[in-house]
Structure 1
């Protein structure tokens, strides 16, 4: 007879956990967050960093179960490039210690001749630093930082598209 309250409490805890996870936007890996209208989204990109950014977006879409379709809307990423500047220099050695990578691009979404999301700027910044005692690590750190920058940009782009009320509601 004493097991009954524990079973009831466990059932209540699991129910509350399920409700709180669903309220915060949690999705099972198999549950797509892409609205049906945007399923099969294609990605086109231009600019020196366009290919890397398009690959990052396609990777994020694939994680959500999206498979590109020729009849689906097209995400257009234009003039994507990364600029870099030094933001910190060692006062004792004069060696650059910290850099700021900035990703610049313009994104839009269209289906055929119809504009679903007008062109808007994309600007993301990411700083990285390195130890002046190991200058050879700088290139590796820079490459890793750019991969992280592209991944964050891909997620930002998809957030903009997925949370646009007009795109979500199908208007």
Structure 2
């Protein structure tokens, strides 16, 4: 099965298939046997070919945070429909979706505002924890769909962006 993951600003296209014991990662012509297991002590171990390393993994929506060999990585799964929309001239980052159900604590922008990548757009609360939602790219706010205090479900459209003119 074909998948794409963002690591930083780079998109990595990979394919996964089943092997006799776990999975096989296809990177171009390379094929690497992979496996992820949790030990009885709760620690997670990643096997990449002959290499066996301890990893710490946390998820938030479609984001996966991996701590491996003293380095931290943030991966974001890209849904195939989002990739197709981007290939057709759209941009998956034009729609900022809720990573989990919650409510709006504060909104820092309004329709028509120009924003820069990384700029705070809003703060949401879910299960007593606040999460700051930042602009994934430079653009102009096309629409803010929720106001302070309103609640929403996971994957609800929070903010829509458009290209700067």
TM-score normalized with structure 2 length: 0.21
Structure with greater contact order relative to length (CA < 8 Å, sep ≥ 6): 1
Q: Which has the higher strand share?
A: 2
Greater helix share, structure number? 1
The higher radius of gyration belongs to 1
